[in-house]
Structure 1
Amino acid sequence: MKLWGCLPCLLCACALAQDFAPAPFAPASLSALITEADLDEISGIAASRRSAGVFWIHNDAPRPARLDAIDETGQRRGRLRIDGVRAVDWEDIASYELDGKAWLLIGDIGDNAGKRKDYELIAVEEPALSGNGLTQPVRPAWRMRFRYPDGSHDVEAMAVDVAAREVLLVSKHAPPVLYSVPLGPGGRVVAVARKRLSLDFIPQPSGDALLARFPAARLGGSPTGLDIDSRNRTAVLLTYRDVWVFPRHRQESWIRAFARRPQHLLLPPMAQAEAIGFSRDDSAILVSGERLPAPLLRFEATGAAGQEH
């Protein structure tokens, strides 16, 4: 099968990963296969804060400006159209609670050609799903345009640090760099992201891996998704090849937490892993991606994952 077309590259990646401590999660299990024809480019996933067992996902661009709700069997439970918005290149989504409300934040942050002058964050209040799964169209509660201080960047990984009221963004190309912008509406002036940290410890492909035909080998070290759990204690960063887990100690900033070597989870071979998120109760990590049938993988937390840091 094509999935195993570069087995030596994957074995090399496993050897590199042995330099990192294992994360306190069980190996991946297959929760579902997503087969809906119009969910063929899943680029982001985030747990609903209002409906148990529901996850909001979105496709890569160019697609209609909409979110789809699925459950852990991969079945669609609803659809949310966002009016007044053009989806230029949606690459990640985050869900969070702030000021007594449930929010969904969409990152229009992709830039394959590296030519965009600015990027956009789009926030909507999460609606409740009705009995038949339908929702009314919504308009953004706020939007913010921003740019980077050092030029254009293709970014597919975004998460919300509720305590600091910041949005964290990790660039895709080596070496990955962590940026931040304030969480909240922007004015007429385009905001400037803050460059925080280079994540140069993430192993990058070399040799035969760079010549491989599928992304898991050729682009294995490229970040494609990011999430922070609801307790604000653990972050997960997805690449095409691995899951990296960053515990945060009490009274510590996420910038300091990301400066330490992360823990590691081996990602089973996938055609194009691009979406990662915690379950609503933080008991598991969910991963999916592009190309149908798209696997929905589940990494169950072990006892150590729930301990205080």
Structure 2
Amino acid sequence: MRTTPKPLILILALLVFSAYSLADESTIEWSPSFEKAKVLSKVRSSKLAELSGLVASHKNEGLYWAHNDSGNDPSIYLLDPSTGEVKLEVELKNTKNKDFEDIAIQQIQGKTYILIADIGDNRAVRSELFIYRILEPKFETNSLMQLAPERMTLSYQEGPRDTETLMADGKNVYLLSKREDNNLLYRFEFKGNSSLTAESIGKIAIKNITAGDIRNGEIALRTYPQIYFWPVSDLSVEERLLTTPPQLLDTSPEPQGEAIAFTQEGDLISISEKPFFVSQLINFYKRTKSSKHE
């Protein structure tokens, strides 16, 4: 039986993902804030073959929390992007991974929390979604840890829809839907052991948003082929997302790019799910010196 060459498989995959509709990029400027991507390493653990969420750790310098999406263990992993190795696995007790799609960090009253969003819904049929929260642990020597998370149950006033983007800014938690021409933005505060029917606060004209992150007021969103960036300004997070055009990064091709995170220094790291038989690269977008934002 004839098999398709691996390079051709990758090319076909890139063509499929690049065909996804995006906002009208003719009116969007290229960002002067980031250099072209460089490859830091590649993910060397099979535990993150379906990596879908990424965020910089606050208690473990230089390391990042990551997770897989549906069909995998209800765990998050502490990843070293310089080597691609997993340092720690944290199992979320009494939890199922229906479809973990993104992860974020909150700092509230001197405490650091990790939020994990079980919000994926490809067929738009889920009546309940879940946001989990744990206090961020410190890695020492153990390679495995178990923690019991708080849980918030969520639904949308507009009805079920696929969502893959979770971001946090102080107490505010943001979700962005994925598949509409104009995706819905939701904002709320996490409250453990509670239920919420969230109502959208506006729409953003970017399709197929797969991940996002906020750091010191700056915002990054990604789709399969493209990374978008909003610099810090006097406007709120929601005002910028809803009313101001983003900048475009010179984005390296990732067949299924579903994870984006700011570093603690303000650079960006992006990782794809493992694409077919190709290495799972860790792409690093260094901040230009003139645009460093502390």
Band the TM-score falls in, shorter-chain normalisation: 0.7 to 0.9
Counterpart of 1:93 in structure 2 is 103
The residue correspondences of 1:7-26 to structure 2 (distance < 5 A) are 17-23=25-31, 24-26=33-35
The residue correspondences of 1:131-280 to structure 2 (distance < 5 A) are 132-140=141-149, 142-162=150-170, 165-175=171-181, 176-187=183-194, 190-200=195-205, 202=206, 221-229=207-215, 231=216, 233-250=217-234, 252-258=235-241, 259-280=243-264
Counterpart of 1:217 in structure 2 is none
How far has the Cα of 1:254 moved from its partner?
1.2
3-state DSSP class of the match of 1:137? strand
Counterpart of 2:63 in structure 1 is 54
Write the distance in 1 (CA, Å) between the matches of 2:73 and 2:17. 36
When residues 41 and 9 of structure 1 are mapped into structure 2, their CA distance, relative to the original with a 3 A threshold, is: closer
When residues 150 and 11 of structure 1 are mapped into structure 2, their CA distance, relative to the original with a 3 A threshold, is: closer
3-state DSSP class of the match of 1:136? strand
Counterpart of 1:215 in structure 2 is none
How far has the Cα of 1:12 moved from its partner?
11
Write the distance in 2 (CA, Å) between the matches of 1:7 and 1:88. 29
Aligned partner letter, 1:174: E
Aligned partner letter, 2:29: A
When residues 143 and 305 of structure 1 are mapped into structure 2, their CA distance, relative to the original with a 3 A threshold, is: farther
2:21, 2:208 within 8 Å by CA — same for their partners in 1?
no
Aligned partner letter, 2:236: S
How far has the Cα of 1:35 moved from its partner?
3.0
3-state DSSP class of the match of 1:195? coil
When residues 192 and 13 of structure 1 are mapped into structure 2, their CA distance, relative to the original with a 3 A threshold, is: closer
1:263-296 residue CA offsets vs partner (Å, 9 max, x unmatched) = 11132221100011111232x1111121152111
1:84, 1:139 within 8 Å by CA — same for their partners in 2?
yes
When residues 290 and 249 of structure 1 are mapped into structure 2, their CA distance, relative to the original with a 3 A threshold, is: same
Write the distance in 2 (CA, Å) between the matches of 1:177 and 1:236. 16
Write the distance in 1 (CA, Å) between the matches of 2:168 and 2:41. 27
1:144, 1:185 within 8 Å by CA — same for their partners in 2?
yes
Tell me which of 268, 272, 275 is aligned to 1:285: 268
3-state DSSP class of the match of 2:41? strand
1:139-166 residue CA offsets vs partner (Å, 9 max, x unmatched) = 11x211111110001100110021xx22
Aligned partner letter, 1:104: I
When residues 10 and 117 of structure 1 are mapped into structure 2, their CA distance, relative to the original with a 3 A threshold, is: closer
How far has the Cα of 1:33 moved from its partner?
1.1
How far has the Cα of 1:133 moved from its partner?
4.6
1:105, 1:122 within 8 Å by CA — same for their partners in 2?
yes
Counterpart of 1:107 in structure 2 is 117
Aligned partner letter, 1:4: I
TM-score, scaled to structure 1: 0.84
Aligned partner letter, 1:266: D
Aligned partner letter, 2:164: E
Aligned partner letter, 2:58: R
Tell me which of 130, 143, 152 is aligned to 1:120: 130
Write the distance in 1 (CA, Å) between the matches of 2:60 and 2:20. 41
How far has the Cα of 1:11 moved from its partner?
10
How far has the Cα of 1:256 moved from its partner?
0.7
Counterpart of 2:77 in structure 1 is 68
3-state DSSP class of the match of 1:145? strand
3-state DSSP class of the match of 1:235? strand
Write the distance in 2 (CA, Å) between the matches of 1:118 and 1:50. 31
Counterpart of 2:291 in structure 1 is 305
Write the distance in 2 (CA, Å) between the matches of 1:135 and 1:67. 10
Aligned partner letter, 1:256: E
Write the distance in 2 (CA, Å) between the matches of 1:112 and 1:12. 15
1:3, 1:269 within 8 Å by CA — same for their partners in 2?
no
